[in-house]
A and B are shown apart, each in its own frame.
Chain A
Amino acid sequence: MLVSTNWLSNYVDWNELSVEELAEKITRAGIEVDGIIDRSFGMDNIVIGYVNNCVKHPEADKLHICQVDVGGEISQIICGAPNIAEGQHVIVARPGAILPGGMKIKKAKLRGEESNGMICSLQELGIEGKLVPKAYAEGIYVLPNDVRAGDSALTHLGLYDRILEFDLTPNRSDALSMLGVAYEVGAILSKDIKLPEISYSASAEKAQSVLKLSVEATEDNPMYVAKVVKNVKVAESPQWLQNTLMSAGIRPHNNVVDITNYVLMEYGQPLHAFDYDRLETKEIVVRHAREGEKMVTLDQVERTLNDQQLVITNGKEPVALAGVMGGANSEVREGTTTVVIESAYFAPSSVRQTSKEVGLRSDASTRFEKGVDPNRVAEAAERAAQMMAELAGGEVLEGSVTFDELDKTPQRIILSPDYVNNRLGMKIAMDEMKTIMDRLQIPTDLINGQLVMDIPTRRQDLKIKEDMIEEIARLYGYDEIPKTLPIVESTPGGLTPYQAKRRIVRRYLEAAGLSQALTYSLASPKDAQAFALETAPVTKLLMPMSEERSILRQSIIPHLLDATTYNVARRNESIALYETGSVFLGIEEDGLPKEVEHVAAALTGKWVHHAWQGETKKVDFFVMKGIVEGLFEQLGLHERLQFTKATVDQMHPGRTATVWLDDQSVGIIGQVHPTVQKQRDLQETYVMEMNLQAIMQTAIEELLYEAVPRYPSISRDIALVVDRDTTAANLEKIIQQAGGKLLKKVQLFDLYEGKNVDEGTKSVAFSLTYFDPERTLTDEDVVKAHSKVLDALTVQANAQLRS
């Protein structure tokens, strides 16, 4: 909503404030003023000129040499506009003027001819092209002949005006009119407001005698008022009216249409004007359209209607799409002499639906959608009739043709001052509350210590007690509300164990060198199920904005790989990222997908990089594995963790494992398949993804202290040659089982394949630590246990011992 502060002065006197102060007060009271537009743009030296003489430029086809009277002085100005002509009053920017586009006007020579300024279009004065009357859209603006050369053109065009740009919240549709704004400003400033005085002398002929009305769709159209004005002379509106409309963001057309738009902006009541003669039938019938019925709207588009849409007809065919747009067949145009003014209440839902279906939103439809003030429907029609009499020479017929079943009674709200104060944490006296209601012009009685308020229909946002608390508080001033803290039955607050663990996981991964990524939950069909830990139906959007983001992800890895590729492409070749977040699997009983929190990571490039001391290491499987092991250790689950070789789509078949927590598979880890790496422009890249939820929900034993050993331990190393396929885990398991109670720790410390070892075999070395918490171990004890281990390895793993 654009509010001209000049226009506003007609209704409320705000002039003791600066425009900035006014804007600030309005904002603080609840309607955000987004900006202030100075329509003069600080221009100077813009005057009215009279074209005394205008001849073709001898050297240029499109230019004219004009002798312009700029007020007691004749100035030669070269003009290139197609509509320049002798005898016109025009806008002249004199040398020294600076136009809103930044253009500086100077004396100049154009093809050898001197030019002392510029004859301007409205666009050149900063008026948007879509607001410029069509007649002057392509050229200079021509003023009427009752002006005087040398006067300020800006004054004449009403450009010494500042516009408040309102950012209205959806509830404040009452401020979609100048009167509504005036009520608001009046309440804020505690000022009376001046409403338009409507008076005109009507002709003896009755409107009802020339027009019949029947409303069939009474629910969608509970009130319809038509007035008839005869002998109208359609012409350009007076300058002030055109100026006012342009200041409100509306293009002037002709006096009849301009008057309906003026009243629309003044009252917030959309009006429509029909050419009475073009209606042909002297009848208006409001009904729903017939399915498939066609009509051509004002914009010359033929529209096919459905039976939910409300139309105004002449009894035979539609002449307007109710509340949305008029029809071309009944439009007021040059030569129209009798006008029917329509003012109606159309049901908000009906207009919203229709305007959405036909894809048309207008100043009218937005106001109907919010619900217009039932008590202004008839008055707005009277206001338009008065203006047509005054400005278009019309003769208003007596009375109006009306259908009215609309409820116009104000809603009553009863409020106790305690209720207000208890909710605000304040102590506002009832008298003060009453004063605020007076400022808002809400009729209020004080009965038995309560405020009894009859809410005017113009404030349809005020429905419940809490709405009135807001009115009181905002006008009393939110700055007056004290600052306190809530007193609630005390709760300990804090993170749940699950939330605390999530933070531990994140901090661990960051300490381990991984940075947290945050990627989108919506994925492409290609990525949605890639790397997923389980197979489940996907969750698709009904109306995706792109295929790229059309399905909820079932794995985090694809987007982490995208992020990795993005970074590598920007020459950050060593990347370590992790993410925790939801994946979406199948559908649960309640209809929602199963949301499971996962953790995923991607590593590529160098892991250790300390070049000058010759210490660098590329990421490999075991770097990622170590990170996963550390994570489980952090969560107290290390001893329950296992890895088994696995085959996963898009992963390297020889370098991928399933991660097990006890006997539950909780994740995958491994290298991305070389083909996939290549497709994604990546070097060797390792990923992991785990069901974090399952891991974090696994109960762990209470942390209990274990005695610090009092007796020394003894270590023995074993070197073995085994089959290449024998896994370390298998050997370790054999050792653990055979080693018995005394064996405390087994650690693989060497692995060798190649020279000096037979093909198909490998050499592995373990360090075994024996320990008895009760006593010092003897050599004999260790030899006994150790030989069992060696035997078991020989028998179960076909191992050859190396000395």
Chain B
Amino acid sequence: MKEQLHELKEQVILKIKESNTVKDLNDVRVAYLGKKGPITDLLKGMGKLPAEERPKMGALVNEIRESVTEILEERKETLEQQAIQEQLENESIDVTLPGRPVELGNHHPLTRVVEEIEDFFISMGYEIAEGPEVEKDYYNFEALNLPKGHPARDMQDSFYITEDILLRTHTSPVQARTMEAKDGAAIKIICPGKVYRRDSDDATHSHQFTQIEGLVVGENIRMSDLKGTLDLLAKKLFGAEREIRLRPSFFPFTEPSVEMDISCFKCGGTGCNVCKKTGWIEILGAGMVHPNVLEMAGYNPEEVTGFAFGMGPERIAMLKYGVEDIRHFYTNDIRFISQFHRSEA
């Protein structure tokens, strides 16, 4: 019986080793350790043994059973591991295949420029003022020190609807309207918007374009305040290393009037094709609000002063992103618009 048992053990171990799947292993377990298996049979046959041998044999059977079970479990563990391994191998993918695209749209490059400027001024306590694109001659010209008959307001240059109504040629009428509405109170505004001029569309002209203007009115507003403000703007838009310079210029609605140049962001001032070898790039026009303009809006120019500035987002975008043709902004070619997607922060 003892030999029988050892023989059986060897046999089972061999079977276990031969099992290559968890299922085979289970079959072995059922066949040898199950109710109908030889070990059970042996246990059943113990009754035939002498009483004194029974405990010894019982212990042996149990010992064999336990050791077989142990080996079986070990084998099971190994086989399960193998199975998982196999599954993982089967599930392996080519991680270089393209991902499922998340289709994002993007905003127009001009919106990008306008919002950057808006946000900069909002952070300095400015409000955004808006107004109609179709304007009265009064707000577009007269209130801005451009009386009727002024050479700068040729019918040929503007889109008139009637003699007194036209598509605004700049966003300055929003300034005129705001000053009138504020009734003598201080002002800090930015006016972005579409404007229209009677120009033929070409690489540098567009009959419709955008402008963004700023206006500050209050007691003791000085030209140095204008300079400080524009200096910060230039650094925000074109980098902290930028320097600005002001040059005298002329606009009917400001006096003194200036044009602002920034040091060239491409060559740093040594001269290149972007700055036409001068080291400076003209960015915007500005000035101290003309006393006539203040007066027409109901301010006393002896007591209240102001500054105003205006720039073209198209020009800024063209400089910043190297766009060579203004018409790109209005063609809506997706191959163009989609390039202004990524964040610059």
Residue of B nearest to A595 (CB): B132
A557-596 interface (Cβ within 8 A of B) = 563, 566-567, 570, 572, 575-578, 581-582, 584, 590-593, 595
Say whether A411 faces chain B, with CB atoms less than 8 Å apart.
no
Question: Is there a chain A Cβ closer than 8 Å to B47's Cβ?
Answer: no
Q: B122: which A residues are within 8 A, CB to CB?
A: 493-495
- B contact residues around A567 at 8 Å (CB): 332-334
A726 at the interface (CB under 8 A from B): no
Residue pair A486, B151 in contact (C-beta under 8 Å) = no
Judge whether B288 and A466 touch: CB under 8 Å.
yes
Expressed in whole angstroms, the Cα–Cα distance for A669 and B329 within the complex equals 27
Asked if B159 is at the interface of the complex by the 8 Å CB criterion, the answer is: yes
Q: When the two chains form their complex, are residues A485 and B229 in contact, meaning their CB atoms are under 8 A apart?
A: yes
Q: A170-B152, A481-B224, A520-B208 are in contact. Are A466 and B256 (CB under 8 A)?
A: yes
Q: List 8 A-B contacts (CB under 8 A).
A: A486-B218, A488-B216, A509-B105, A539-B134, A591-B136, A592-B136, A608-B103, A610-B98
A545 lies within 8 A of B248 (CB) = no
Contact B227–A486 (Cβ < 8 Å)? no
Cβ-closest chain A residue relative to B193: A582
Residue of B nearest to A485 (CB): B228
The CA-CA distance from A349 to B149 in the complex, in Å, is: 8
Residues of A within 8 A of B229 (CB): 485-486
Partner of A591, one of B159, B164, B194, B288: B164
Task: Confirm or deny: A319 has a beta carbon within 8 angstroms of a beta carbon on chain B.
Answer: no
With contacts A542-B162, A592-B135 taken as known, whether A171 is within 8 angstroms of B151 at the C-beta atoms is: no
Q: B247 interface residue, CB < 8 Å from A?
A: yes
Residues A539 and B161 in contact, CB atoms below 8 Å apart:
yes
Report the bound CA distance from A477 to B122 in whole Å. 31
Cβ-defined contact, B133 with A582, below 8 A: yes
Residues of B within 8 A of A470 (CB): 248, 255-257
A201 interfacial contact with B, CB 8 Å: no
B220 surroundings in chain A (CB, below 8 A): 422, 487
State whether B107 touches A516 (Cβ < 8 A): yes
Q: Which residue of B lies closest to A474 (CB)?
A: B248
Give every chain A residue within 8 A of B290 (Cβ-Cβ): 466
Whether A27 pairs with B107 at a CB distance below 8 angstroms is no
CA distance A576 to B337 in the complex (A): 12
Question: CB of A491 within 8 A of chain B?
Answer: yes
By a CB distance below 8 angstroms, the chain A residues around B255 are: 464, 466-467, 469-470
- Residue-by-residue, is B200-221 near A (CB-CB < 8 Å gives 1, otherwise 0)? 1000000110000000101011
Closest to A477 in B: B246
B337 pairs with A516, CB closer than 8 A: yes
Known A470-B248, A572-B335; further 20 A-B contacts with Cβ < 8 A: A30-B248, A169-B249, A169-B250, A466-B291, A469-B256, A470-B255, A478-B227, A478-B247, A485-B229, A486-B307, A493-B125, A510-B104, A510-B106, A511-B104, A515-B108, A516-B111, A516-B337, A543-B159, A566-B333, A590-B136
Chain B contacts with A in 179-193, Cβ cutoff 8 A: 186-188
Given A484-B228, A516-B106, A570-B333, is A542 in contact with B250 using a C-beta cutoff of 8 Å? no
| Nearest CB on A from B275, distance (A) | 14
**Which listed residue (B97, B123, B222, B332) contacts A519, Cβ 8 A?**
B332
The answer for the CA separation of A567 and B334 in the assembled complex, in Å, is 7
Q: Are A515 and B338 in contact (CB under 8 A)?
A: yes
Chain A residues with CB under 8 Å of B246's CB are: 478-479, 481
Which residues in window 123-158 of B have CB below 8 A to A? 123-128, 130, 132-136, 149, 151-152, 155
Q: Are A592 and B151 in contact (CB under 8 A)?
A: no
Q: Given A513-B103, A591-B162, A481 and B291 touching (CB < 8 A)? A: no
Tell which of A32, A487, A516, A544 touches B247, judged by Cβ atoms closer than 8 Å: A32
Q: At the interface, yes or no: B115 with Cβ under 8 Å from chain A?
A: yes
Q: Please list the residues of chain B having a beta carbon within 8 angstroms of any beta carbon in chain A.
A: 97-98, 100-101, 103-108, 110-111, 115, 118, 121-128, 130, 132-136, 149, 151-152, 155, 159-162, 164-165, 167, 186-188, 194, 196, 198, 200, 207-208, 216, 218, 220-225, 227-229, 231-232, 245-250, 255-259, 288, 290-291, 305, 307, 329-335, 337-338
In the assembled complex, the Cα of A578 lies from the Cα of B111 at a distance in Å of 13
B128 touching A424, Cβ below 8 Å: no
A613 touching B224 in the complex, CB below 8 Å, given contacts A517-B108, A520-B330, A552-B134:
no
- Chain A residues in 8 Å Cβ range of B232: 485
Instruction: Bits for A503-533, please: 1 = Cβ < 8 Å to B, else 0.
Output: 1001001111111111111100000000000
Beta-carbon contact of A481 and B250 below 8 Å: no
Say yes or no for A369: interface residue by CB 8 A criterion: yes
A494 shortest CB reach to chain B, Å: 5
Q: In the complex, what's the smallest C-beta–C-beta distance from B215 to chain A, in angstroms?
A: 11
A539 to B167, CA, bound (A): 11
Give the distance in Å from the alpha carbon of A520 to the alpha carbon of B125 in the complex: 32
Q: How far is the CB of A418 from chain B (nearest CB, A)?
A: 12
Please state if B100 and A518 are interface contacts (CB–CB under 8 Å).
Answer: no
Given contacts A486-B218, A488-B188, A595-B134, is CB(A566)–CB(B332) below 8 Å? Answer: yes
Cβ contact of A484, chosen from B105, B133, B194, B224, cutoff 8 A: B224
Residues of A within 8 A of B (CB): 27-30, 32, 169-172, 349, 352, 369, 422-426, 464-467, 469-470, 473-474, 478-479, 481-496, 499, 503, 506, 509-522, 539-545, 549, 552, 563, 566-567, 570, 572, 575-578, 581-582, 584, 590-593, 595, 607-610, 612-613, 615
What's the nearest-Cβ distance from chain B to residue A423, in Å? 6
Please measure, in the bound complex, the distance between the C-alpha atom of A483 and the C-alpha atom of B128, giving whole angstroms.
24
Q: Which of B100, B130, B220, B332 has the most chain A CB atoms inside 10 A of its CB?
A: B332
Chain A residue with minimal CB distance to B97?
A612
* Complex partner residue of B132 from A512, A517, A549, A592, CB under 8 angstroms: A592
Q: B108, B149, B165, B245: which contacts A478 (Cβ < 8 A)?
A: B245
The reply to whether A485 and B225 contact each other, CB–CB distance below 8 Å, is yes
User: 7 tightest CB-CB pairs across the interface, nearest first?
Assistant: A425-B224, A30-B248, A425-B222, A470-B256, A169-B250, A483-B228, A563-B332
Chain B positions within 8 Å of A540 at CB level: 161
How many Å lie between the Cα of A544 and that of B97 in the bound state? 54
Please give, as numbers and ranges, the residues of chain A lying within 8 Å of B227 by CB-CB distance.
425, 478, 481-484
Nearest chain-A residue to B98 (Cβ)? A612
Closest approach, in angstroms, between the C-beta of A55 and any C-beta of chain B?
50
Q: Are B128 and A495 in contact (CB under 8 A)?
A: yes
CB distance from B258 to the nearest CB of A (A): 7
Complex CA–CA separation, A668 to B317 (angstroms): 34
A30/B337 contact (C-beta < 8 A), A423-B288, A470-B257 known: no
Chain A hits for B258, CB < 8 A: 478
B105 interface neighbour in A512, A549, A612, Cβ under 8 Å: A512
Nearest chain-A residue to B115 (Cβ)? A503
B159, closest chain A residue (CB): A541
Whole-angstrom distance between the alpha carbons of A510 and B338 in the complex? 11
Complex Cα spacing A495 to B335, Å: 31
Bound: A578/B165 CA distance, A: 30
CB-CB under 8 A from A469, the residues of chain B are 255-256, 288
Are the CB atoms of B135 and A486 closer together than 8 Å?
Answer: no
Min C-beta distance of B224 to chain A, whole Å:
3
Are A521 and B194 in contact, with the CB atoms below 8 A?
Answer: yes
The answer to whether A496 and B152 have CB atoms under 8 Å apart is: no
Residues on the B chain within 8 Å of A610, using CB:
98, 100-101
Would you call A572 and B334 a contact (CB within 8 A)? yes
